[in-house]
Structures are given as structure tokens and as C-alpha cells.
Amino acid sequence: MAFSQPWLLWLLPLALLPLVFQRAHSKSYSWLDMLPPDPLSDLIGLILKILAVLTLLFIVLGLSAPHTKQQEIERIGVGAQIGLVLDRSASMDDPFSGTTESSLGETKSAAAARLITQFVQSRKNDMLGMITFSNSAMYVLPLTENKEAMVAAVRATAGNALFQTNIGSGLTSGAGLFDKVPDSGSRAVILLSDGGGRISADTQQKIRDWFDRMHISLYWIVLREPGGLSIFDKNYAPNPDKALPPEIELYEFFKTMKTEFHAYEADDPKSLQLAIDDINRKEKKPIKYLEKIPGKDLSNACLVIAAIMITILLGIKYLEVKTWH
């Protein structure tokens, strides 16, 4: 039980006024000793006083807006704490078929948004957070159980974007989502990007350390243009004179991570769906989580009680003798 306006409780002594002050319109009678004792009358007098006191009490209580405290119930469900790290670079607005050909078909970001929305809605007990990144990370939504907020956040990812892809910043921010959140035992970051980006050695070390410390597994979904370089290509022979392509380099780095890592490649919405379904299957461990039940507002109940009592008092007022001197 808590009060939104606790200072109004200082008015509570006002409720005792009916006991201190007598009724103003009391009639004068010559000698009360002449009136024989009548328990019913005494009882009514007492009830009237109590009613008046309670009326004032409930009005003051109602004004001070009491409510029950927010409750947290520990529940065990199947789910995970998942941080979504979405690529918002401009290339995501291209269709899967790439920019060179006709721009027919669903864009990568729209497909991602659609499928992630389905994913979010299919997961009952997950806590989801979201980070988007292009040239730097944008903090969108902390880990939350609120599905509506999540769906709205996914929807909000559409729009104009920059051309750069700063995966390192996205991943560190994604790991930051799990900071100060109790560990449920199942934590994952889903990195959805098209192509790769280079990460400096410092950042690599930082990502490796953070993911390890917070026990976060990583799922990487690469949206690949058809015919593009595949990270799973066994036959790919690196050109010794050049640096590795960013996708390959990133894949090599992720493989060195101490925590679990899975990579998926998707070159059309269907394969993207398959990747997400796979993650959905894997991230199903029993987790403990706290369900928050919001406090109930009791002020209306107080005011209704006060109104009922005032009605009773008015009814008694109606019964009051008016014809006598």
C-alpha cells in the first residue's frame, strides 16, 4: 500500500471533526433526564458519528490516491533474454536480389522486420532488447517483456539510413543491454547484418570479454546477395596480397569467441525464416523471470465508499424531524 499524494494524509485528523464538533442544528430540549433511555436512538447517534468520521476518512484517503505496490512474481517459463542487433545501413533497403538488377521484391530490412515481428510474437516469455547500428549504435529498447514495445521498435527501424556498417559498436551496445539485468541463464544476441565490417583489435577483445563475462551466445545472420561471397565457402582461397574480405574476417573472429556462436546465411526471405526458426528452436531453455503486476489504484474505491456513506447520511437527513420547534 502506497500513496501518490502522501502529504494529503496530514488532513486525516480532519476526520475527527465530527467527534469534536457537535451537530450545529441540534434542538434544545428542556431536560434530557426526562427522556427515557433508548438504546436504538443511542445506536443511531453512534452510527451517524461513525459514518461522518468514515466519510471524511475515505475522502481524505481517496484524495491521497492510495494504490497497491507493484508486485513481482517469479515465474518459470521457456524463453531467453535476447538482444537484437539490427543493421540499419542503407544497403538493407535493397531487395535481396541486389541493387544491380530490378529492384523488385521485398527489401532486406522489410523482410527482416516482418520475420522478426513474427519471431517476437511467437516467443511468450522472452525478454527482448534492441539495438540498431549503421555508422554507430543506436540504443532503441532495453531488455523488456513488453511485446508491443518490441514490435513498435522493430517497425521503427525502417527509414533512411547511412551507408556505413559499424558492427563493433552494435555488438558492444548489444552486450551492454545485458548489463545490470539479472541473468536468466539463457542469453543471446542476434546480429542481423548484410555483409560484414571490420572491427579493430581493441573492440574485438572487448566484445570477446563482454560476451564471455555475461554468458551471451551470438547468432549471426548474414543477409547475402545472391551470388555474393559466402562465409561458408570452403573453396574460397584468400588472396595473400590482400586483406581478407570483411565477412570472412568477422567470421574468423566470431569463431574465436569463447561463448556459443552460430552463423546463418540468408539470401532470400525464406532462408532468413529458416535461420530465425533455428534460433527459435535453440533458444528454448527454462528461465526464471519476474513478472511485474502493476499496483491497483484504490482511490476510486475510497471515493465510492465515501459517496455511499454520504448517500446514507443524506437519507438520514431526509428522515430528520423538520416539524418540531
Partner 1 sequence: MTIKDIKEFSYHIGWRNRGRHPGRHASTQRGMGMEFIGHTSLISYPDPRRIDLRQTIRDPMEQVYVRLFNQKSSTPVFVICDLSGSMNFGAKERKIRKAADIAESIARSATRNSDPFGFVGFDDMVREDWISTASFKSHRAIELAERLKEHHPDAVSGAGISDVWRYLPRERSLVFLISDFHMPHEQLESSLANLLRHHIVPVVLWDADEYTNLPENGITSVTDPESGAKRTLFLRKNYRNKIIAAFEARREAIYKLFMEFDMPPFYVEGDFDADKLTEYFHQFVAA
Q: Among 41-49, 58-66, 172-180, 209-217, which window interacts with partner 1 (CB under 8 A)?
A: 41-49
Under 8 Å CB-to-CB from 296, ≥6 apart: which residues? 67, 68
Interface residue with partner 1 among 10, 13, 23, 274 (CB under 8 A) is 23
**73: alpha, beta or left? (left if phi > 0; alpha if psi -120 to 50):** beta
Task: Say which DSSP state 317 is in.
Answer: H
Q: How far is the CB of 314 from partner 1 (least distance, A)?
A: 13
Scanning residues 134 to 153, which ones bind partner 1 (CB under 8 A)? none
The C-alpha atoms of residue 186 and residue 128 are separated, in whole angstroms, by: 12
Contact status: 22 vs partner 1 (CB under 8 A): yes
Contact status: 48 vs partner 1 (CB under 8 A): yes
Q: How far is the CB of 290 from partner 1 (least distance, A)?
A: 54
How many residues touch partner 1 (CB under 8 A)? 29
The C-alpha atoms of residue 312 and residue 325 are separated, in whole angstroms, by: 25
Q: Among 17-25, 81-89, 198-206, 273-281, which window interacts with partner 1 (CB under 8 A)?
A: 17-25
Residues 129 and 153: beta-carbon distance below 8 Å: no
> Of 46 and 293, which has the nearer Cβ to partner 1?
46
DSSP 196-238: -----HHHHHHHHHHHHHTT-EEEEEEE--TTS--TT-TT---
* Grid cell digits, residue 286: 527454462
Contact status: 33 vs partner 1 (CB under 8 A): yes
Contact status: 1 vs partner 1 (CB under 8 A): no
Contact status: 31 vs partner 1 (CB under 8 A): yes
Contact status: 20 vs partner 1 (CB under 8 A): no
Contact status: 314 vs partner 1 (CB under 8 A): no
Q: How far is the CB of 15 from partner 1 (least distance, A)?
A: 19
Residues 67 and 277: beta-carbon distance below 8 Å: no
Under 8 Å CB-to-CB from 248, ≥6 apart: which residues? 196, 229, 231, 236, 238
Contact status: 202 vs partner 1 (CB under 8 A): no
Interface residue with partner 1 among 16, 76, 308, 316 (CB under 8 A) is 316
Residues 45 and 91: beta-carbon distance below 8 Å: no
Contact status: 237 vs partner 1 (CB under 8 A): no
Q: Among 7-15, 24-32, 92-100, 199-207, which window interacts with partner 1 (CB under 8 A)?
A: 24-32
Helix or strand run (H / E) with residue 187? strand 187-193
Interface residue with partner 1 among 10, 12, 17, 29 (CB under 8 A) is 29
Residues in contact with partner 1 by the rule CB under 8 A: 22-23, 25-36, 38, 40-42, 44-45, 48, 316, 319-325
